Amino acid sequence: MNILLLGSGGREHALAWKLSQSPLLTNLYIAPGNAGTALFGKNIPVSVNDFPAVKATVLNLKINMVIVGPEDPLVNGIHDFFKADPDIQHVPVIGPVKQAAMLEGSKDFAKQFMHRHGIPTARYQTFDRTNIHEGHHFLKSLSPPYVLKADGLAAGKGVLICKTLEEATREFTGMLEEERFGPASQKVVIEEFLAGIELSVFILTDGKNYLLLPEAKDYKKIGEGDTGPNTGGMGSVSPVPFADTLFMDKVEQQVIKPTMHGLRAEGIDYKGFIFFGLIKVNDHPFVIEYNCRMGDPETESVIPRIQNDLVRLFNAVANQSLETEIISVSPLTTATVMLVAEGYPNAYEKGMVITGQEQVVGSLVFHAGTKLNPVTGETVANGGRVMAVTSFGKTMHEALAKSYENAAKIDFKGKHYRKDIGFDL
């Protein structure tokens, strides 16, 4: 099979690494990819949101399957684009149609969906410019801290947690009146703050059946002890010790099954990954958010633990025969440490030469933001998150020690990483 994988981060490098191990694979192409994905296939300089260019690539390279890494093309309707075009409608797309991707693309849609299907989530109301005043009243009815969410996609930056009513009222008004997050904040969800510990749960579904993938915990804040601004993710571990059988059983019964049932009841054909961003409050799971794709850097810890042939699983998604597949997961723990550029998640430099990768022993290195300098052949930084180092261990501490040992060997100017991944487990 010829496969086209869309995306260019650590998630896509991990997927490319795993796909390349399948005997069912003939050629792997990654658009646009990074210096790491180029080790497992051919990078194609096409943007994930340029659907006509994706179509041309699929036709030129005789692609048999498209796997979508990031959320934007899904929310923009890439799956629907394929379905509607007679030239490419025979090519399966792994990733949901636009309506289903709205679970991530609109917080208000996701909250209404959860409400309709009895899925546990924080109490909320949605407001727009026409009812800002009611929003102020709703804020007053809640106790601090206050959670404000831009309705649309905001690259992980659309959620504000405000300590005081004054701050929440000011931010809420700014989000709506000044569209502080662009069109994404034309609607704002205000919700009750939930205190607990977060984890990421993933399924792969063909619309009828699903496989529960290993869960993970990611570390979103830039600073140690979960301080400072949010990032795309600074590290991850899998499994998550507190996600024991009893808790995961609740997750399946109270969250995953009602979500699957809801999608079917609403006639939404979902093919791909569902990422449940959960918070555990007094032993009960609540949904913080849905994502219509795998997490990053969770993928870098989750995918290495999956022992199945991933191409086979994706074929089963496309053919709606996932019920015949059984997931096989390594009992070992994986731990991922993300190396980021100085200044990230604010302004940062690009182009720094990355050295020392050849000294890494016993860890997987997944490139997040890198590219190959075509003149010098050097690998250079090309994003805020630069590289992920993932290791296996019998315990989380063993896995982390290995990742840290190897993270120290990779070097680039301004390299930064969190030294406390897993600190709260």
Q: Which residues bind ligand GLY (CB under 6 A)?
A: 156, 218, 233, 291, 295-296, 298
**C-alpha closest to that of 32 among 76, 82, 73, 65:** 73
For the CB of residue 298, give the shortest distance to ligand GLY in the complex, in Å: 6
Query: With respect to ligand AMP, which residue has the nearer C-beta, 278 or 310?
Result: 278
Which residues 6+ apart lie within 8 Å of 227 measured at CB?
Answer: 221
Residue 354 backbone dihedrals phi, psi, to 5 degrees = -105, 125
Interface map 137-156 toward ligand AMP (x if CB under 6 A): ----------x--------x
Query: With respect to ligand GLY, which residue has the nearer C-beta, 114 or 292?
Result: 292
3-state secondary structure of 172: helix
With CB under 5 to 8 Å by kind, the binding choice for 96 among ligand AMP, ligand GLY, none is none
- DSSP string covering 63-125: -SEEEE-SSHHHHTTHHHHHHH-TTTTTS-EES--HHHHHHHH-HHHHHHHHHHTT--B--EE
198 interacts with ligand AMP by CB under 6 A: yes
Interface map 280-319 toward ligand AMP (x if CB under 6 A): --------xx------------------------------
- DSSP string covering 347-390: S----PBPB-GGG--SSEEEESSEEE-TTT--EEE-SSEEEEEE
Query: With respect to ligand AMP, which residue has the nearer C-beta, 199 or 306?
Result: 199
For the CB of residue 198, give the shortest distance to ligand AMP in the complex, in Å: 6
Interface map 87-126 toward ligand AMP (x if CB under 6 A): -----------------------------------x----
**Cα angle for residues 195, 199, 205 (degrees, 5° grid):** 130
Query: With respect to ligand GLY, which residue has the nearer C-beta, 118 or 156?
Result: 156
With CB under 5 to 8 Å by kind, the binding choice for 38 among ligand GLY, ligand AMP, none is none
Structure tokens at 46: 């096409």
- DSSP string covering 290-313: EESS--TTHHHHHHHHB-S-HHHH
Structure tokens at 270: 């979902």
Query: With respect to ligand AMP, which residue has the nearer C-beta, 220 or 257?
Result: 220
Q: Nearest residue by C-beta to ligand AMP? A: 289
Strands 235-238 and 333-340: antiparallel
Query: With respect to ligand GLY, which residue has the nearer C-beta, 41 or 297?
Result: 297
**Cα angle for residues 247, 314, 208 (degrees, 5° grid):** 60
243 interacts with ligand AMP by CB under 6 A: no
Q: List residues near ligand AMP by CB under 6 A.
A: 122, 147, 156, 159, 191, 193-194, 198, 220, 277, 288-289
